[in-house]
Structure 1
Amino acid sequence: MFKLKPLLFCCFTMAASTALAKSDSVDINIDVQQPGAVLNKNIYGQFMEHLGRGIYEGIWVGEDSDIPNQDGFRLDVLQALRELKVPLLRWPGGCFADEYHWRDGIGPRDERPRTVNSNWGGVIEDNAFGTHEFFAFAELLGAETYVNGNLGTGSPREMVEWLHYMTSDADTTIVRERKKNGREKPFKVDYFAVGNESWGCGGNMTPDYYADLYKQYSAFLKAPEDNMPKFIASGGTDDQTEWTRTLAEKVKPSWSLRMDAISHHYYTIPTSDWEVKGSATGFPEEEWFSALHRTLRIEDFIEENIAILDELDPEKKIGFYVDEWGTWYDVDEGTNPGFLYQQNTLRDAVIAGLNIHVFNRYAERVQMTNIAQMVNVLQAMILTDKEKMVLTPTYYAFKMHIPFQDATYLPVSIDNTPEYNHGDASIPAISASAAKAKDGNVYLSLVNTQLEGEVDVTLDEVKQVQGQVLSSEKMDEHNTFEQPENITPKAYSVSVKNGKAVVTVPAKSLMVLNLGQL
């Protein structure tokens, strides 16, 4: 019951379903008296890499394009991302970052060198989108910035000079060069990473070797105090914990050494087989379930790494950033395998909701995450085809959660959690997350993971229940350029009588409700 005392109780009455546990009801408890951490808005961050059509065509078309644009940025995508209230952009990679030399992307565009993108498709990179274009785009969106430095093929001097070029206002030759290139004031760099995936495409390094390199490079990375970014070390992936432990043990912050966070990457692959990942559409129930089952493993990996940080950094000075996450399927048939283009369905929206719930639970350490990627790549918000654009179910999942940006986490517990069973495995049938938003209202996010079986939720002592629900009869429902509104959020509200309301959460759905000021 929603009462002004330690716990708010929501009674769930389960509709009949063979996928559910035998229990007829389950309680969700929301603790309004002991709020948790602030949900940093950057938990809802985005990732953009020089990969396929993620930037070129997806974001940047150039001023001379027939596609309507503002200073080279396509207007339809720009407007859609503004409506999404994108809080943070990560660039230029990814694997691309450790082969990116920043000087290739400054100066007159027709004079910039043409290089080969050896990581993604072997296509020509004309460097039309570089430092100035990235910051111009971020400023158009009102987003914070996260820049990945080149550790793999760069040098300390190259990284130092790039940071100086971006952040300084001193009368140096490099700053004069930036001003000559059209930017008088320094750029605002909020986060700066030393390398990316150093365990793999960033150099195939060991944790110890990388830790030593991090200390060497970061010792020289300087910026004005009022424009000093947070510095991020490249951490592990999947179930790796040795990167977090090694970095926390070997990199001791001092006046000349900063490490504000350690990154981590985790991708959801339905089959767990990198060679045959599974299809983005037309998949069987087995792959619906396996994708959800595997995406939830991220909570174990976050817990294990945070336990190490709690041991070695009890003052909680080091954040744990999941700066690449999302679904990864076989590329759509007929597309360049190096472009990582895949369709986006209701399954992806449900997976996004589940991950958001996990990130919210660990917001004290997980102060930033970046879904991979924003446009046309992997679990994208937006897909384009030349002049055409379509919004994906994942876009709507993020848009529904805008009130959670910078909200205050409210702990949620579920008693007698029902299960969704498939074969010998099971996952929770219901997932929930709650927060008190900056507008003073309490928002409740719910995911029903099962393919069949709706859930009736009884709420007591509430004044309003209104929000949106994203669901469909088809588990692979998706939007196309021909039918862009196959799946969109639907308004949802129920009447409140004597402080009580009954909410029905459909099967395979994501719902976000505004419960008012409680």
Structure 2
Amino acid sequence: MTTTARAVIDLDVPGPTISRHLYGHFAEHLGRCIYGGFWVGEDSDVPNEGGIRLDVVEALRALQIPNLRWPGGCFADEYHWRDGIGPRSERPRMVNTHWGDVVEDNSFGTHEFMALCELLGTEPYVNGNVGSGTVREMSEWVEYLTRPGTSPMADLRRANGRDEPWKVPFWGIGNEAWGCGGNMRAEAYADLARQYATFCRDHGDNSLYRIAAGASNGDYAWTEALMKAISCLGCTREPRGFFQGISFHYYTVPGPWHDKGSALEFDTDDYYTTMVKARGVEEIIRGHAAVMDVYDPGKTVGLVLDEWGTWWNVEPGTNPGFLYQQNTLRDALVASVHFDAFHRHADRLFMANIAQTVNVLQAMILTDPESGALVLTPTYHVFEMNTGHHDAAALDVHLTGAGTKAVGDGELELISASASVKGDTALVSLTNLDADGAASVVLDLRGRSVVASRGRILTADSLQTHNTPDAAAVAPSSFDAVSVTDDAFGHGLAVEIPAHSYVTLELDLA
């Protein structure tokens, strides 16, 4: 059975800018994300620059990643930055109590992270320690990284080999303060966020974008407590500038927490349940945005989803605290529908960070610990196919006839779509979530003429298909199942999308 849908897109009515930071990434000291993922050390046989894996850098540069969040996550609230500077042989060790109960030797610290960001050409997002740290500790970290001239922390930075300050725009004020970051009440954390933000100062020409640690899923009361800390109900003035963003976290976990399901062994019912959960992110975004709108109608404070992605049971035989999981076509479709939701809420949603970049949860890249081989996951390819949306103007997509499937007590809409325009180029993203049936989508394109189109598709024989060091079974290919159509509604393009597929169409406009 083929789903037939129509998508009306006014190409000459651009909306809010889709911030490139919606395509951000996350690297925590967790499992093999840092050690064995980004960092192999200067003596490794794996090609590296200063200990940083060059094949990982090359792969991520192709994604034009806009920002990288570090050092956590839960790890951030037990990390003390001074332990990660100076000669590596003299750095103290610690126990990573959150992730695997392993010893952390701090060989990857502030200077190594900043070198990584420079190699990637990305902006750093540093998450400070509120849970077990101090205001002074975080304030001095900001000074160490960003202050020019002479000061105690700038002088310490120079003593450790870096003369000029770095640009570090994004700072997280703790992480998951409602849980691993301190088990705080919302109001108690809101007061701390104001205090920490006050002492995290702008130095030189580095302007901080301070991000308060926000809610889990749909805890809108947490968001309201943070908004009350900087504004008031019905205020006509802009919120006070203690922090510029408020985060929240949302993971696609279709099963119970103790048994989240297998990354590889799942059936069609499991798949549809997963997609319902994935599409649920839009309701959560909408809810947090609605709360923020009451206190900030001018939308000056950004909403930040700095942890998102699928979370499955760890792969058998791996350390359960390392959160290593495989990545299939199903994960790629989870990513594609998330991005469509992000684009639709670009007026409020400023940043999002996939969890995580390498070897952890819904990773872009997997590295084989024995051979050193690098694998690009299906999710990686969705990010790459969407680079044209970075900093483009969102276009409304009015979708009708998309078809639905009953899943449990709810329904899953089977077609997901979004679009953007930048200059004389538009990019349309289309996902067919039907596990078995094709979809026919007519793009009713209005306002500007389309003079050429180029298509790409990401699909596979089965939803369980994944990539390994031996086979890149899921990778984009050219797509030409597109034809010009004229009907009673006007001129457009008819797109025939196979089952469980993701398609992008790049349009040249006149």
- One fold, TM greater than 0.5? yes
Query: Which residue of the partner structure matches residue 207 of structure 2?
Result: 228
Query: Which residue of the partner structure matches residue 475 of structure 2?
Result: 488
Alpha-carbon separation, structure 1, partners of 2:79 and 2:189: 19
Task: Answer whether contact 1:97 1:149 (CA < 8 A) is retained.
Answer: yes
Task: Answer whether contact 2:7 2:441 (CA < 8 A) is retained.
Answer: no
Which blocks of at least 5 consecutive residues in structure 2 are unaligned? 232-236, 486-490
Query: Which residue of the partner structure matches residue 443 of structure 1?
Result: 427
The number of aligned residues is 494
Query: Which residue of the partner structure matches residue 295 of structure 1?
Result: 278
**Equivalent residues in 2 for 1:170-319 (5 A)?**
170-224=149-203, 226-252=205-231, 257-271=241-255, 273-319=256-302
Deviation at 1:89, TM superposition (A): 0.4
CA deviations on 1:472-507 (whole Å, 9 max, x unpaired) are 121111001222x11111111357568764321111
- 1:61 and 2:48 aligned: no
Alpha-carbon separation, structure 2, partners of 1:495 and 1:416: 19
Aligned pair partner of 1:332 in 315, 319, 328: 315
Alpha-carbon separation, structure 2, partners of 1:136 and 1:154: 25
Alpha-carbon separation, structure 2, partners of 1:455 and 1:255: 46
Task: Answer whether contact 2:9 2:443 (CA < 8 A) is retained.
Answer: no
- 1:517 and 2:509 aligned: yes
- 1:474 and 2:462 aligned: yes
Corresponding letter in the other structure for 1:391: L
Q: Normalization by structure 1: what TM-score?
A: 0.92
Task: Answer whether contact 1:104 1:127 (CA < 8 A) is retained.
Answer: yes
CA deviations on 1:6-29 (whole Å, 9 max, x unpaired) are xxxxxxxxxx25xx5xxxx43211
Alpha-carbon separation, structure 2, partners of 1:469 and 1:263: 32
CA deviations on 1:168-218 (whole Å, 9 max, x unpaired) are 013112211101111111111111111000000000001100011111222
Worse overlay, 138-147 or 27-36: 27-36
Task: Answer whether contact 1:215 1:257 (CA < 8 A) is retained.
Answer: no
Query: Which residue of the partner structure matches residue 383 of structure 2?
Result: 398
Alpha-carbon separation, structure 2, partners of 1:351 and 1:424: 20
Alpha-carbon separation, structure 1, partners of 2:409 and 2:130: 44
Q: Normalization by structure 2: what TM-score?
A: 0.94
Match of 1:77, SS state, is helix
Alpha-carbon separation, structure 1, partners of 2:201 and 2:195: 13
Alpha-carbon separation, structure 2, partners of 1:504 and 1:76: 36
Alpha-carbon separation, structure 2, partners of 1:467 and 1:177: 52
- 1:349 and 2:332 aligned: yes
Alpha-carbon separation, structure 2, partners of 1:315 and 1:168: 31
Alpha-carbon separation, structure 2, partners of 1:43 and 1:154: 29
Alpha-carbon separation, structure 1, partners of 2:73 and 2:460: 33
CA deviations on 1:223-257 (whole Å, 9 max, x unpaired) are 22510210110110111001110111122499995
Deviation at 1:219, TM superposition (A): 1.6
Q: CA RMSD in A?
A: 1.7
Aligned pair partner of 2:79 in 100, 119, 124: 100
Aligned pair partner of 1:457 in 441, 444, 451: 441
Aligned pair partner of 1:81 in 56, 60, 70: 60
Match of 1:104, SS state, is helix
Task: Answer whether contact 1:99 1:154 (CA < 8 A) is retained.
Answer: yes
**Equivalent residues in 2 for 1:366-377 (5 A)?**
366-377=349-360
Query: Which residue of the partner structure matches residue 488 of structure 2?
Result: none
Alpha-carbon separation, structure 2, partners of 1:174 and 1:419: 58
Alpha-carbon separation, structure 2, partners of 1:466 and 1:426: 32
Cα distance change of structure 1 residues 495 and 147 upon mapping to structure 2, 3 Å threshold:
closer
Corresponding letter in the other structure for 1:192: W
Query: Which residue of the partner structure matches residue 4 of structure 1?
Result: none
Which blocks of at least 5 consecutive residues in structure 1 are unaligned? 1-15
Cα distance change of structure 1 residues 187 and 455 upon mapping to structure 2, 3 Å threshold:
same
Match of 2:361, SS state, is coil
- 1:139 and 2:118 aligned: yes
Query: Which residue of the partner structure matches residue 165 of structure 1?
Result: 144
Cα distance change of structure 1 residues 433 and 497 upon mapping to structure 2, 3 Å threshold:
closer
Deviation at 1:423, TM superposition (A): 5.0
Alpha-carbon separation, structure 1, partners of 2:101 and 2:422: 45
Match of 1:46, SS state, is strand
Query: Which residue of the partner structure matches residue 348 of structure 2?
Result: 365
Cα distance change of structure 1 residues 263 and 493 upon mapping to structure 2, 3 Å threshold:
same
Alpha-carbon separation, structure 2, partners of 1:506 and 1:348: 17
Task: Answer whether contact 2:230 2:240 (CA < 8 A) is retained.
Answer: no
Match of 2:349, SS state, is coil
Aligned pair partner of 2:107 in 110, 116, 128: 128
Corresponding letter in the other structure for 2:437: G
